[in-house]
Chains A and B, each alone.
Chain A
């Protein structure tokens, strides 16, 4: 096992760090983030658990009892957005990592780094958001930390949350030819909401982030846990990047169908204007599930009927015919969905 670990960390990614400095793209959750993690962090603290690279680490306690353990940092701007705030996001993010890694979220730690001059009123609002999600999800914040830095040294407030969940023996399994790919909710809403705010584009209507806890799915996941191969929450980099990561790990292609991708009209039209592809925009209340094709329809129906995710859809299937992820439109035109390589920018004309 030690040899495997050594050989893994010595593998060079195909986009080796060309510079000596961190570039903003290193934080986009795509190819460059992954390479940074391999080349800096894995090289330093290599161990079998870490290099699995999962959303949560599976820690064997004793007598086959497993705890899932995860951590996440939140630096979102703007701090308050339609549909939530950094506090709600920090709790949902960690809870959802625990859910997709097959555990029941229980305990969370919350560490705050706050800029001098930040309004306490806002901090209270953030704390209340966090409590609201915890109560809904039956989770407790049991420990935390608070630090203050001088004005101008960070942007408002940053939050890091870590979480522990009780594993119920879900095991990630090999994705094979014809396995079904499900997306449980409409895509791109969080990314679009933030983009609109970032570019100062005034909008009216029902535009908001999908930020939400996914604990309501746990009973269904448990029911189908032996037929579910893998679950992921498509946050940074969206559905496109997440599916590429699965495709690379399992060495299998994916064939998606545009007409089955659940997406709201406002997301489509705003992104047509901004020049972004919603398949690569962040989701904060969504899940990709890959499962055996035999139970796909039952799983989809249960998620729709029992958890209220009315847009849950089977969007495609894994395929041996190609090794990449591609999407087909409703007249047979196909295009490749490659790994996210870049910082998204708007078009001009």
Chain B
């Protein structure tokens, strides 16, 4: 019998006679996408609620970041960006389609391409929009370090690299309704799996670190259901083969060399202390915020966009008035519709809705 089918059977057996709901949150957009793409929800016991958390870096970026990028464009600075963030709208306009821009927007897939771009245009100023979670941090750190060491004078970085533990803590502090958490395996590859054991140690919530294939997610769900049903003593377990306890030392070293923990702006929440990686003193001349004197105050979203609640697992896309009407795959307003890992976009792609 195939592994996925077997795991589904085991999960459903474990849930026989279950009267209460089990709420499991996964905090990585890639997990969200895999769950919906594989139609997992419909196959497991309906009392298991799979809730999507804030694991999409585009989705958790607040409006101040977008406004800062637009301000730079207005002042003849060029922007280099990943595709997603350039399409998120703030005050009705995205970076890509900003009407008052004097600078150009360059979309890259590989962030290292920024170095090539700035070298081809030595008389122009560029800012790279460095957004991501722990998985993106090492490569951004590497590029910042290289920019510094090669004395490249026209490339700066607007960093919004977020950390998972603070946002998970925020959610667990504000809700006692999450019974288990699925943590992203790719983050643990960088940080080591102990990065997430605070979820049980501090909050007494069981957690698993899992990969992204359907059978890996199902294995994670199975373990959580067992623990929650008091049928297992594993409160925290790593199920992802590629994770070493110590993580990836090279990555950890370079992150520590370039960044320091600082305030982070989270969409729908505000500022959370020590929740983001900011460029440290040694490399601060490359920090776009400092160089261009940007305001980093949190900016609230003013329209009816429900992304704020959706990313915290408090609402579903259907509940948003703008969903699939004004805000759709081709005219996305909120980040959850722009990003490949945003729940609204995932719903549009895979659900009948």
B residues near A334, Cβ cutoff 8 Å? 39, 42
Whether B109 contacts A349 by the Cβ 8 Å rule is no
Q: Which of A25, A346, A347, A348 contacts B131 (CB 8 A)?
A: A348
Contact check: which of A32, A275, A349 meets B330 at CB < 8 Å? A32
Stretch at the interface among A89-97, A117-125, A335-343: A335-343
Decide yes or no whether A324 CB sits under 8 A from chain B.
yes
Q: How far is the CA of A335 from the CA of B350 in the complex (A)?
A: 6
Chain B residue with minimal CB distance to A324?
Answer: B352
Q: Which residues of A contact B214 (CB under 8 A)?
A: 329, 331, 333
Report A-chain residues with C-beta under 8 Å of the C-beta of B36: 335
Chain A residue at minimum C-beta to C-beta distance from B85: A348
**Contact B113–A341 (Cβ < 8 Å):** no
Asked if A200 is at the interface of the complex by the 8 Å CB criterion, the answer is yes
- Asked if A201 and B109 make an inter-chain contact with CB atoms under 8 angstroms apart, the answer reads yes
A349/B136 contact (C-beta < 8 A), A199-B109, A324-B352 known: yes
A335 touches B37 (CB 8 A): yes
Do A343 and B352 have beta carbons less than 8 Å apart? no
A341 touches B330 (CB 8 A): yes
Complex-state Cα separation, A324 to B350, whole angstroms: 12
Interface: A204 (CB within 8 A): no
Known: A324-B352, A333-B38. A341 touches B328 (CB 8 A): yes
Chain B neighbourhood of A200, CB < 8 A: 109-110, 113
* A330 near B4: Cβ-Cβ < 8 Å: yes
Q: In the complex, which residues of chain B have a beta carbon less than 8 angstroms from the beta carbon of A338?
A: 348-349
Sort chain A's interface into a size bin. Answer: 20 to 34
Q: CB distance A331 to B340 under 8 Å?
A: no
Of residues 35 to 74 in A, which have CB atoms within 8 Å of B's CB atoms? none
CA distance A324 to B349 in the complex (A): 13
Q: Is A332 positioned at the interface, with any CB of B under 8 Å from its CB?
A: yes
Minimal Cβ-Cβ distance residue in B for A18: B331
Given known contacts A331-B8, A345-B83, is B131 in contact with A336 (CB within 8 Å)?
no
Q: Which A residues are CB-close (under 8 A) to B70?
A: none
Which one, B39, B82, B135, contacts A335 given CB within 8 A?
A: B39
Contacts of B109 in A (CB 8 A): 199-201, 274, 346
Proximity string of chain A (311-334) to chain B, C-beta cutoff 8 Å, 1 when within and 0 when not: 000000000000010001111111
Asked whether, in the complex, the Cβ of A329 is within 8 Å of the Cβ of B113, the reply is no
Please report the total number of B residues contacting A with Cβ < 8 Å. Answer: 42
A267 to B113 alpha-carbon distance, docked (Å):
24
- Across-interface contacts of A18 in B (CB, < 8 A): 331
Q: What residue in chain B is nearest A274 (Cβ atoms)?
A: B109
- Please give the distance in Å from A193's CB to the nearest CB on chain B: 16
Mark contacts of B321-353 with chain A using CB atoms, 8 A cut-off: 1 yes-contact digit, 0 otherwise.
000000011110000000111000000111110
Interface SS of chain A: loop
CB-based contact B57/A349 at 8 Å: yes
Q: Please, what's the 1-or-0 string for B118-136, where 1 marks a CB less than 8 Å from any CB in chain A? A: 0000000000000111011
The answer to whether B42 and A333 have CB atoms under 8 Å apart is yes
Considering the chains assembled together, what is the distance between the CA atoms of A25 and B331 in angstroms?
A: 10
Shortest distance from the beta carbon of A190 to any chain B beta carbon, whole Å: 19
Q: What is the distance, in angstroms, from A67's C-beta to the closest C-beta of chain B?
A: 38
A200 to B133, CA, bound (A): 24
* Highest count of chain A CB atoms <10 Å: which of B43, B110, B339, B340: B340
Q: How far in angstroms is the closest Cβ of chain B from A28?
A: 9
- Contacting residues, chain B, for A346 (C-beta < 8 A): 82-83, 109, 340
Tell me the smallest distance from the CB of A274 to a CB of chain B, in Å: 8
- Say whether B82 contacts A348, CB under 8 Å: yes
Contact B38 A335 (CB under 8 A): yes
* Chain A residues with CB below 8 A from B331, complex form: 18
Is the C-beta of B58 less than 8 angstroms from some C-beta in chain A?
A: yes
* 8 Å CB interface, A4-54 against B: 15, 18, 23, 25, 32
A32 to chain B: closest residue by CB: B330
A336 proximity list for chain B (CB < 8 A): 350-352
Known contacts A329-B214, A334-B42; A347/B352 CB under 8 A: no
Contact B329 A341 (CB under 8 A): yes
The distance in angstroms between the C-alpha atoms of A21 and B132, with both chains bound, is: 34
Cross-chain contact of A349 among B110, B113, B133, B329 (Cβ < 8 A): B133
Asked if B87 lies at the interface with its beta carbon under 8 angstroms from chain A, I say yes
Nearest Cβ on chain A to B19's Cβ, whole angstroms: 26
Task: From the candidates A23, A275, A333, A341, name the one contacting B340 in the complex (CB within 8 A).
Answer: A275
Chain B residue, CB-CB nearest to A341: B329
Give the docked Cα–Cα distance between A341 and B350 (Å): 13
Q: Knowing A331-B8, A335-B350 are in contact, say whether A348-B136 is a contact too (CB < 8 A).
A: yes
Smallest distance from the beta carbon of B87 to chain A beta carbons, Å? Answer: 7
A345 to B82, CA, bound (A): 9
Distance in Å: Cβ of A260 to nearest Cβ of chain B: 15
> Roughly how many angstroms separate A324 CA and B328 CA in the complex, as a whole number?
19
User: By the criterion CB–CB under 8 Å, are B83 and A332 in contact?
Assistant: no
Which residue of chain A has its CB nearest to the CB of B36? A335
Taking a contact as CB atoms under 8 Å apart, the answer to whether A332 and B133 are in contact is: no
A331:B58 contact, CB within 8 angstroms: no
Could you say which residues of chain B place their CB within 8 Å of the CB of A330? 2, 4
The CA of A348 and the CA of B8, in the complex, are separated in Å by 31
Residue B84 interfacial (CB < 8 Å): yes
Minimum CB–CB distance from A125 to chain B (whole Å) comes to 28
A174, B57: Cα distance in complex, Å: 47
Kindly list chain B residues whose C-beta atoms are within 8 Å of the C-beta of A341: 328-330, 348
Q: Judge if B320 is at the interface, Cβ distance under 8 Å.
A: no
* Pairwise interchain contact A347-B84, C-beta atoms closer than 8 A: yes
Q: Which residue of A199, A324, A330, A331 has the most chain B CB atoms within 10 A of its CB atom?
A: A331
Q: Is B29 an interface residue (CB 8 A)?
A: yes
In the bound assembly, the distance between CA atoms of A2 and B110 in angstroms comes to: 55
B36-54 CB mask vs A (1 if < 8 Å, else 0) is: 1111101100000000000
Q: Which of B39, B131, B136 contacts A329 (CB 8 A)?
A: B39
Chain B residue at minimal CB-CB distance from A343: B330
Instruction: Name 22 A/B residue pairs within 8 A (Cβ), A-sorted.
Output: A15-B330, A201-B110, A328-B39, A329-B4, A329-B214, A330-B2, A331-B2, A331-B38, A333-B38, A333-B39, A333-B40, A334-B42, A342-B329, A345-B84, A346-B109, A348-B58, A348-B82, A348-B84, A349-B29, A349-B30, A349-B133, A349-B136
- Which 8 residue pairs spanning A and B have beta carbons closest together? A333-B39, A331-B4, A348-B82, A345-B83, A342-B329, A347-B340, A341-B329, A333-B38
Given contacts A332-B5, A332-B8, A335-B36, 5 further A-B contacts (CB under 8 A): A334-B39, A338-B348, A341-B330, A341-B348, A346-B340
